[in-house]
Structure 1
Amino acid sequence: MTIPAYNPFNPILPRDENALPVGREVPDLGRLPDWDLTDLYPAPDAPELKRDLDALERACADFARDFEGRLVSLSPAKMLDCVERYQQIDVLAGRIMSYAGLRYYQNTTDAARAKLMGDLQDRITNDTTKLVFFSLEFNAIPDARYNEVFTAPDGPARYKPVFDRMRAMRPYQLSDELERFLHDNSVVGAAAWNRLFDETTAGLTFQVEGETLGLEATLNLLTDHDRARREAGARALAAVFENNIKLFSRIHNTLAKEKAIEDKWRKMPSPQTARHLSNHVEPEVVEALRNAVTAAYPRLSHRYYRLKAKWLGLDKLQVWDRNAPLPTEAPRLIAWPEARATVLDAYAGFSPKLAELAEPFFDQGWIDAGVKPGKAPGAFAHPTVTTVHPYVLLNYLGKPRDVMTLAHELGHGVHQRMAAGQGELLASTPLTLAETASVFGEMLTFRALLAGTTDKAERKALLAGKVEDMINTVVRQIAFYDFECKLHAARAEGELTPEDINALWMSVQGESLGDAFEFMPGYETFWTYVPHFVHSPFYVYAYAFGDGLVNALYAAYEGGLPEFQSKYFDLLAAGGSKHHKELLAPFGLDASDPAFWDKGLSMIEGFIDELEAMED
């Protein structure tokens, strides 16, 4: 557990159709908020930033001087001091990189912002190399001594969950020298390839009916009411992806091989092991989730898309029809004030406390919602550090789906605010639980909208939109996970050609989407733009985990579980201090039970049942 060279952001929401309309007129949605980053630092050249950089350098040197070679002999009280000093270093480094990263994501094409992030990343990597000893030496402490120190009344007992997770890495730990090398090398390894991917995708342009559009604007066309325009967007995407396929193949080949080399040295049993360890989730739980979802493909995505083909009057769907609006759905733009009121009212309907926690995001510059050239695509909520507050990035276009994205990211933000009370080391939530509040926030907003409509066509559109979002979050993400598993397994056998990767992609797409689709030539390249595969290998199953978990939680809420709200807030406030089994026990839920996942999937089936009944 050393401070990373780059403090990663929550990856982009899996709605790959969120869009940035570069080259097109932006609709008038009211005044959209921008970030005010002064709560981190006033400016890139602010003396406060230099002060913290100097403080970080001193803190790392002092920490190494005081504790290297001595961890095993520290008394409980001294170990507590050691852990808390380490935590303060984590706060300093996280604050600096959060500022640099957020500025960069506001405009990824600005060379000065990219340079600042790169320079700060290099400096922090150099400073924190002195801390590499910490996890190595800590994991060498004998179990008896570790338990003695971490259960003592005057010791660091509250931090034990963090260090239990760290010690799970003991079997895979390398020598001190090799760990230091990997730490130093990170800035020219995965981090460099990540930046190449980001800057390449940000710079792509697409020619659509005489317009020059960016990636997100072109993806946005896939939800257009005009089918011809959707097709034009899909074909433009395929053409540009094909033109850049060699570069994207090189990025994926290199990152998969780099990971395989490190996994081999660490003796990781599988490419997925590191992700499962960081998520604090057992491989068999992930396998149970994956198997439940793939077994449900015929009952979920296959069945739904056959319905959608009927609604659209088509024998077969094309890829540009996957997220098309229904023919009966009237195009509607939702101005920012209405979006704000919709989400806050839905949150308040669950608990006034939830709305109170979300409100400062709107009023204090914690949301960057506007559409801007060079801005990062999609949406995320970044927690920064526990001594400040989270920031939310959106690309708000006024679509109903964008309102759901707002509800989703505010859920993350509320979760991060509540967990901050745990302190920097304990606040971070494993990815499997990180989607809980975001998906729950979406569900609250959806249910509020559904309860407020009496029009059959509007209800149908809301239900269909929710089913599609859930399919994108569950079915699509598990298909992504299977693609990654196949990709890494195939790369272990040798270099992959673009055609090899394309074939792996199509194998999971056909299986997950079903017989309602036929796939245009060029769709086989659509793996190229998915950022999760590059930034966070095997992250994607966390979305399906979160959706299934929330569906089960919401069923308990609707079923009138006593004191649900207080139990829910306790879950959020726990951050990463408890295992998922302990957190779910008050709700009568257990994710290790294979039947658990069927409960969540049955909610999606129920929505499809209602849509089918509307056909009668």
Structure 2
Amino acid sequence: MLRSPARPDSDLPRDAATDTGAGPLGDLPEWDLSDLYPAPDAAEVKRDLDWVEEACERFAADYEGKLADLDAAGLLDCVLRYERIDLTAGRLMSYAGLRYYQQTTDPARAKFMSDCQDKITTYTAPLVFFSLEINRIPDDRLETHFEANAELARYRPIFERLRAMRPYQLSDELEKFLHDQSVVGATAWNKLFDETIAGLEFDVDGEILGIEGTLNLLTEQDRSKREAAARELARVFADRLPLFSRVHNTLAKEKEVEDRWRGMPTPQTGRHLSNHVEPEVVEALRNAVVAAYPKLSHRYYELKRKWLGLDTLEIWDRNAPLPMEETRTIGWDSARKMVLDAYTDFSPRMADIATPFFDKGWIDAGVKPGKAPGAFAHPTVSDAHPYVMLNYLGKPRDVMTLAHELGHGVHQVLAAGQGELLASTPLTLAETASVFGEMLTFRKLLANARDDAERKVLLAGKVEDMINTVVRQIAFYDFECKLHAARRNGELTPDDINALWMSVQAESLGPAFSYMDGYETFWAYVPHFVHSPFYVYAYAFGDGLVNALYAVYEEGNPDFQEKYFEMLKAGGSKHHKELLAPFGLDASDPAFWDKGLSMISGMIDELEAMEN
């Protein structure tokens, strides 16, 4: 339950790149991390590290071997002490992680994060017994405790999630070993991947760029520039392919070993348990999306091929702007106004929650050497506030990314009232507020479109984003499923992984595309596969859920805004069935996903109608 560095609890960098255009962006904000700690060498950092060490030792001395004998009040005191440790350790790791992602190539920042991780891992080792002993308490005794103490009963979801792991729990000794070993296992490989990606250099027509700037070129109007960027990405990835292959082989094998020892039936089981979602719900989502490939991505990209006047699309055309699209740069102040206006139209309360992000140093927006690519929102801890990271380059898609990450931020602010252990939302619902924020912003821009040409560009852009969020992420999920299944049969060569990647690309993108030599390596830069295996279906889950939710909003559901805020405030305290019930929605109904996908299909219908 203790949190790891910034990225696993964050919205990981998104797939869509952005475009610079021309003109000034204005003053881009930077993080002020002093709300967490004044400096890495501040006395407060040492104070909290020392406190965590002592608190963990005292916690183990007071409770190890005794949890089953506690009465309800004693168990509540135990949970509250555990929560305070989680809060303090989370503050330390949030600060270390955020500083690191500002400049991953800075050895001092990398050392500070590693040292914090090592210390927190060591100090919290005595707490491993907590979940193991909780899972040995008989069900009827725990239920009696909940009935006797309402405050303890509030933590029921935490106990339920812990106890969901009971069938897969190892011995106390092995669990402690895995805890101690983690800093030289997945954590170390994650760090190697991050530092490698951040340090890559790409030479595009004589200009040396990092990965963010190079991916950004894939949305240039100039097709030759897009092609040059794609080919340079392929060249650099190919040079590092042995390393990326080693990272994936090692992490997949490590996961297979732990899953085998735990008796996990599938590589995906751990993710489903942590997301508090049933495997059949994810399978229904996956199957609905794959079945819809022909009427979604295949149909849209055939339209785009015609718009671009090409016999076949190359991979560098996937995120190309439309010929009728204006090349423009949106300054930071304009982006802020667009998003806050859209939030205000939905509810002034939503804009009020979002405004401090702009005014108080809660956003780091600029593109800088060594900065982690993409965008995320990190909740930090429940007695502080979230931080949003962007790589803002002034494209309309960047405005949507801002709306997306601010949605996360609003969600995290509201959920913080649940306290440290209950604030964190399972990944399946973590994308709800972010995608909803994007939808509000898109609908605002669409309503203000000057003519059919602008409406067409907006609709096409939204369809592309939805395809990236739904179709592409489910293809990513299928790639991971194939990768982990294949790794169980032995070491995978780079060519093996390349072949798995291409097997899902052609299926999901459709017949409008040709694939350049080198595209088979593009799995190498996707951070989700490294940091959070099987994370990616959460994007599709969130988009489908929000499409259904937005349809309820448009239908005029009574008190929708209040129900929406109550859902966000719940954090991780309720199951998705309970959260969606007030809106008349049920994600376990296979037909639920078809409703969400029909919204995308309907937008493509409208685009096709514009051709006639």
Which TM-score band applies after superposition, normalised by the shorter structure? over 0.9
In structure 1, C-alpha distance between the alignment counterparts of 2:207 and 2:13, rounded to whole Å: 27
Q: Structure 1 residue 63: deviation in Å? A: 0.7
CA deviation digits over 1:12-62, x for unaligned, max 9?
24334247x8xxx98521111110000000111111111111111111111
Measured in 2, the distance between the counterparts of 1:492 and 1:27 equals 51
Residue 45 of structure 1 is matched in structure 2 by 41
Change (3 A) 1:3 1:223: closer
**Is the 1:76–1:155 contact (alpha carbons within 8 Å) kept by the matching residues of 2?**
no
Q: Residue by residue, what CA displacement relative to the aligned partner does 1:211-268 show, whole Å, maximum 9, x if unpaired?
A: 1111111111100000000000000001111111111111100000000000000000
Please, what is the CA RMSD of the aligned residues? 1.2
| CA deviation vs aligned residue, 1:123-165 (integer Å, no higher than 9, x gap) | 0000000100000111111111111112323551000011101
Would the alpha carbon gap of residues 26 and 98 (structure 1) be closer, same or farther in structure 2, given more than 3 Å must change?
Answer: farther
Distance 2:508 2:5 in 1: 36
Name the amino acid aligned to 1:8.
P
For residues 154 and 61 of structure 1, the distance between their equivalents in structure 2, rounded to whole angstroms, comes to 28
Corresponding residue for residue 158 of structure 2: 162
Paired position in structure 2 for 1:192: 188
Whole-angstrom CA distance in 2 between matches of 1:197 and 1:432: 25
TM-score (norm 2): 0.99
1:258 equivalent in alignment to 2:254:
yes
Is the Cα contact below 8 Å between 1:7 and 1:94 reproduced in 2?
A: no
Q: Distance in 1 between matches of 2:64 and 2:142?
A: 17
Among residues 199, 207, 222, which one is paired with 1:211 in the alignment? 207
1:542 pairs, out of 520, 531, 538, with: 538
Trace 1:503-518 onto structure 2 (pairs within 5 A).
503-518=499-514
More moved, 209-218 vs 373-382: 209-218
1: CA distance between counterparts of 2:165 and 2:509?
37
User: Corresponding residue for 1:15?
Assistant: 15
Which residue in the other structure is 1:565 paired with? 561
User: Structure 1: which amino acid aligns with 2:163?
Assistant: R
For the pair 1:131 / 2:130, whether they are aligned, the reply is: no
Q: Which residue of 1 aligns with 2:320?
A: 324
CA distance in 2, matches of 1:242, 1:545: 32
Q: 1:438 aligns with which of 424, 434, 437?
A: 434
Number of the residue aligned with 2:601:
605
The 2-side partners of 1:208 and 1:400 are apart by 23
Q: Deviations over 1:258-288 (max 9, x none)?
A: 0000000000000000000000000000000
**Which of 453, 467, 475 is 2:463 aligned to?**
467
Q: Quick one: structure 1 residues 6 and 391, their matched pair in 2 at CA, closer, same or farther if it must change by over 3 Å? A: closer
Amino acid paired to 1:74: L
Secondary structure of the equivalent of 1:45?
coil
Partner of 1:360: 356
Shift in Å at residue 111 of structure 1?
0.4
Q: Cα gap change, 1:6/1:414 in structure 2, threshold over 3 Å: closer, same or farther?
A: closer
**TM-score, normalisation: structure 1:** 0.98
Aligned-partner Cα distance in 1 for 2:450–2:227: 33
Give the count of matched residue pairs.
612
CA contact 2:432–2:543 (8 Å) conserved in 1:
yes
User: 2:554 and 2:184 mapped to 1: Cα distance?
Assistant: 50
Counterparts of residues 233-248 of structure 1 (less than 5 Å): 233-248=229-244
The 2-side partners of 1:445 and 1:338 are apart by 13
Matches within 5 A, 1:375-390: 375-390=371-386
In structure 1, what is the equivalent of residue 498 of structure 2? 502
Q: Which residue of 2 aligns with 1:99?
A: 95
- Contact kept in structure 2, 1:222 and 1:233, CA below 8 Å: yes
Q: Provide the residue aligned with 1:74 in structure 2.
A: 70
- Does the alignment pair 1:33 with 2:2? no
Distance 1:198 1:544, change over 3 A: same
Contact 2:11 2:378 in 1 (8 A): no
Equivalents in 2 of 1:14, 1:210: separation in Å? 27
Report which stretch shifted further, 46-55 or 441-450.
Answer: 46-55
Q: For residue 281 of structure 2, what is the aligned residue in structure 1?
A: 285
Equivalents in 2 of 1:356, 1:211: separation in Å? 42
* Rounded Cα–Cα distance in structure 1 between residues aligned with 2:5 and 2:539: 25
Match for residue 344 of structure 1?
A: 340
Query: Which segment drifts farther, 111-120 or 141-150?
Result: 141-150
Q: Distance in 2 between matches of 1:398 and 1:218?
A: 15
- Aligned match of 1:590 in 575, 583, 586? 586
Q: Distance in 2 between matches of 1:376 and 1:584?
A: 34
- Matching residue's letter, 2:9: F
Q: 1:500 to 1:530 in 2, by over 3 A?
A: same
